[in-house]
């Protein structure tokens, strides 16, 4: 058995995303088939435990084309200067460390190359983010990633329209004990912001951080649902 979070857009401005843990049967192995079997088991249990109707796996392992296209490795956007970036490369290239960064040459790398660059591990503690001259503090912890991802999603209007048809989102590879940011959670936050008419908060980092701080619970507050109890 394994536990993974499932992210629910609430449409409630007081708490925009509900993060819930679900226990399900895990299918070991690195193959795409095994990953997708685990996704299906997670979604089946989420339907049973949480009552969701249309969950979507948001990752390169998704059985749905939409979920694959929404992976941060695949989701692209164009900057005001006409530069095309993937969300993953933009995120990694914006990190500022105690002994270096941001390493903007990562913007031009493939997402996997950017994520595996040794400088990200050898430059000391992460202290901030800097994206095209705009600095972001580490608090709230997921605010910069969410802002970056959601802005990219908005620029892909066809994908943004499709995700609103789903009521829950997962990322089978995301483990909150090892990571903080999650693309599935960012999608859920987008859907909730769209429902309550708060997408305008993305226009400035300060406004987005303010609503994120007061209306988005951080991953450490996940709830756990065990269907076996």
The arithmetic mean of pLDDT across residues 59-78, rounded, is 97
- For residue 32, the tally of other CB atoms under 10 A from its CB is 12
The predicted model scores a pTM of 0.92
The arithmetic mean of pLDDT across residues 86-97, rounded, is 98
Q: With 60 as the cut, is the pLDDT of residue 178 above it?
A: yes
Q: What integer pLDDT is reported at residue 191 of this predicted model? A: 97
**Residue 11 vs residue 157, higher pLDDT:** 157
- 82 part of a folded domain: no
Residue 48: CB partners within 8 Å, gap ≥ 6? 227
Closest CA to 32 of 71, 87, 90: 71
Residue 220's SS3 state is helix
- 108 part of a folded domain: no
- 32 part of a folded domain: yes
- 126 part of a folded domain: no
- 198 part of a folded domain: yes
- 120 part of a folded domain: no
Q: With 70 as the cut, is the pLDDT of residue 27 above it?
A: yes
What are the residues facing 126 on neighbouring strands? 97
- 97 part of a folded domain: no
- 121 part of a folded domain: no
- For residue 13, the tally of other CB atoms under 10 A from its CB is 15
Q: With 50 as the cut, is the pLDDT of residue 47 above it?
A: yes
Q: With 50 as the cut, is the pLDDT of residue 53 above it?
A: yes
User: What domain range is 151 assigned to?
Assistant: 2-75+139-225
User: How far apart (Å, rounded) are the C-alpha atoms in residues 206 and 160?
Assistant: 23
The token pair at 72 is 């941060």
Q: Domain count of the chain?
A: 1
Q: What integer pLDDT is reported at residue 218 of this predicted model? A: 65
């Amino acid at each position: 058995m394994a536990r993974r979070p499932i992210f629910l857009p609430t449409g409630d401005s007081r708490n925009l995303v509900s993060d819930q843990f679900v226990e399900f049967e895990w299918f070991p192995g690195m193959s795409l088939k095994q990953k997708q079997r685990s996704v299906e088991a997670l979604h089946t249990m989420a339907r049973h435990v949480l009552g969701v109707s249309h969950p979507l796996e948001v990752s390169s392992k998704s059985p749905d084309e939409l979920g694959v296209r929404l992976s941060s490795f695949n989701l692209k956007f164009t900057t005001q200067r006409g530069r095309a970036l993937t969300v993953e490369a933009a995120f990694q290239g914006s990190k500022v460390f105690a002994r270096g960064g941001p390493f903007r040459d990562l913007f031009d790398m493939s997402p996997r190359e950017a994520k595996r660059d040794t400088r990200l591990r050898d430059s000391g503690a992460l202290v901030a983010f800097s994206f095209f001259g705009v600095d972001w503090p580490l608090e709230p912890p997921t605010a910069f990633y969410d802002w970056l991802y959601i802005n990219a999603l908005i620029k892909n209007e066809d994908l943004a329209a499709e995700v609103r048809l789903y009521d829950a989102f997962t990322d089978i590879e995301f483990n909150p004990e090892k990571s903080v940011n999650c693309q599935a959670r960012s999608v859920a936050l987008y859907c909730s912001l769209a429902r309550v008419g708060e997408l305008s908060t993305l226009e400035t980092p300060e406004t987005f951080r303010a609503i994120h701080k007061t209306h988005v619970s951080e991953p450490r507050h996940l709830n756990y649902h065990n269907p076996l109890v």
